[in-house]
A and B are shown apart, each in its own frame.
Chain A
Amino acid sequence: MPRVLWMIVGVSALTATGCQSPDTSSMLSITYGSGEFAPPVEVDTNCDDGGCDGLEQLQATLNFDQQGFVSGTAQVEILQYKVEYGLYDLAADNQPPYYAGVTTVVVNINDSVDFNVRAAGSNQRDWIRARYGDRQLDGTATLTLAGYDQLNQVVQVSSDFDISFGDFVTDGATP
């Protein structure tokens, strides 16, 4: 094949690869370590009793692992997150309202970034306390991050972690 024709085929392949949106979301994952704010997360529903400082924080790691052809400068910028709850003792249609917040987490391809987010807020705390008082409710929660990749495509990634609502104090022990 003449050299020019090879180049045209090569360019076509490059064009096709470049214009097909790489599934960046599938290359993202969230993991949790074992640090101070690693799950399980304890959400104090009675801030007058021991305070809420230090609780509710969730430490996680966002991983961006290359799969297939991806530009070496690929990057993901996370801008918001939400947390949805699945408490064991509550029906699926009777869970606390989801929590959401904004953040900025930037991760490059083949890299990882640690970040902290809140796992719940006053709406969730009030919702639980109004219905179940100081009762401890355990379950899981799903953290979902959303942002953009280097092609300005929306990316999302989710992961579950353990969570408990109850009348905790800051050292993590129930009073």
Chain B
Amino acid sequence: MIRPSPRKARPVHLLVAYAAGLVLAGCTPQTRPALPDWSGGMDTTDTSVIDTGGTVDTTVPTGPMALYAVTGTGIPSRIWQTGTTDPCELNIDGTVEGYQTMDCTLDIPELDLFGYGLDFDFTVPFGACDFVTYHHYMYEAWEVGTGPTDVSYDVDAVGNITNEVNSVNGVPACQYDYSRLNTDAPNCCVGNYTLSVTNTDSGVTRVVGPISWGGKPSTCYGGAAYIDPEATFTADGWPTGKIVFTNQTKYDKRFHWDELSTRFISNVPLANHYDPADHDGTMPAGLAGEAASPYYVFRCYDHAEELLGQIRLEVREWNEESEYYANGDPDTTGTEPVSGEPIDDRNDWATATPGSTDFIQDAQ
């Protein structure tokens, strides 16, 4: 039997390979330590920072993506993770794999919302997002619908109109065209119709069409997206979401809406919170609309629009200050013990459109 020589090369190769392994694996940290936090010097309004590279971003976020209540205004609002008393802070890691989402609730007493307005702060940390997007809550105030396709009536030589179908006194009528009866209301009737008018004296029928019902759905919606002081709109009247190139820098923004009292009679335009128990176990009809956005939504994206983090916000108005501070019931009802005034002074979704079929229309 031939024994292998202890001086053969194989053990040396193994040692070299082992040593090389030490050099390669043992000396290179698997993850990069955090860079110094210089986010305090980042100019969030300056998106012209020059980036000469093309390498994958590996920067570790320096804090949470978060929503915070504004302090120092005298308005006692708070923002917690929905259903908890934890702060609305989302600790994303800046990667697609690390995506997280969080629902948060801003609580505010009802007259503060109605008579003062709404404030909150949004922040994303340095090293988290290439882009930030946000859009605000909006609802279908007036039901949008497709009108009938046929309109017809008969008319005689002196102008008497009879046998009207989808017509009132010779004017085409669509149940979704609220402007027919209220000039301040929108026309939410979409689609086309064919108009057939028969002259009863001559027996001739004239057919015209298709004719548009003329509705403009964007005028049938309302909410924070519409009354945002910074709102911008598409050519056909829809509020646009905002996209901000943050370029991995820290981004801070304060959102503010003015008081509702000068324009509305309820808190619905800003308070999107609803309890399904008040709406047949589902959501109010206005929030189920095709273009409705039930939440204020804040998102963090990479360069290729992969979602890295998302926060959805509800604004909930409280009927009693004592309940607000006790974190009790936001929807108490009844009358105040001495004055006899109602405890629930301003409509929210629960009282504006209970159930799931009614639209708020001009009760906003």
Contacts and interface: CB of A to CB of B under 8 A. Distances in A.
Interface string A24-45: 0000000000000000000000
B41 A99 contact: yes
Interface string A8-30: 10011011001101000000000
A18 B19 CA distance: 10
B155 to A, nearest CB: 66
Main secondary structure of the interface of B (DSSP, over half): loop
Contact of A19 (B22, B31, B40): B22
Contacts of B16: 7, 11
A14 B23 contact: yes
B343 to A, nearest CB: 47
Interface in B183-239: none
B30 to A, nearest CB: 8
B248 A102 contact: yes
Contacts of A81: 38
Given A15-B23, A98-B41, A152-B32, A115 B52 contact: yes
Interface string A82-124: 1100000000000001111111111000000101111001110
Interface in B29-54: 29, 31-33, 35-36, 38-43, 45-46, 48-54
A152 B29 contact: yes
Contacts of B29: 151-153
Given A4-B12, A14-B23, A117-B50, A99 B43 contact: yes
A77 interface: yes
A15 B32 contact: no
Contact of A15 (B7, B19, B39): B19
A82 B43 CA distance: 11
B54 A147 contact: no
B51 A102 contact: yes
Contact of A103 (B27, B43, B49, B58): B49
B10 to A, nearest CB: 11
B58 to A, nearest CB: 8
A80 interface: yes
26 contacts: A4-B12, A7-B15, A11-B18, A12-B19, A14-B19, A15-B23, A19-B22, A77-B55, A79-B57, A80-B38, A98-B38, A99-B43, A100-B38, A102-B247, A103-B49, A104-B54, A115-B52, A117-B49, A118-B43, A118-B46, A118-B49, A121-B45, A122-B43, A123-B43, A152-B28, A154-B36
Interface of A: 2-4, 7-8, 11-12, 14-15, 18-19, 21, 77, 79-83, 97-106, 113, 115-118, 121-123, 146-148, 150-154, 156
Given A100-B38, A100-B41, 10 more contacts: A4-B12, A14-B23, A19-B22, A83-B41, A98-B40, A99-B43, A105-B53, A121-B43, A122-B43, A152-B33
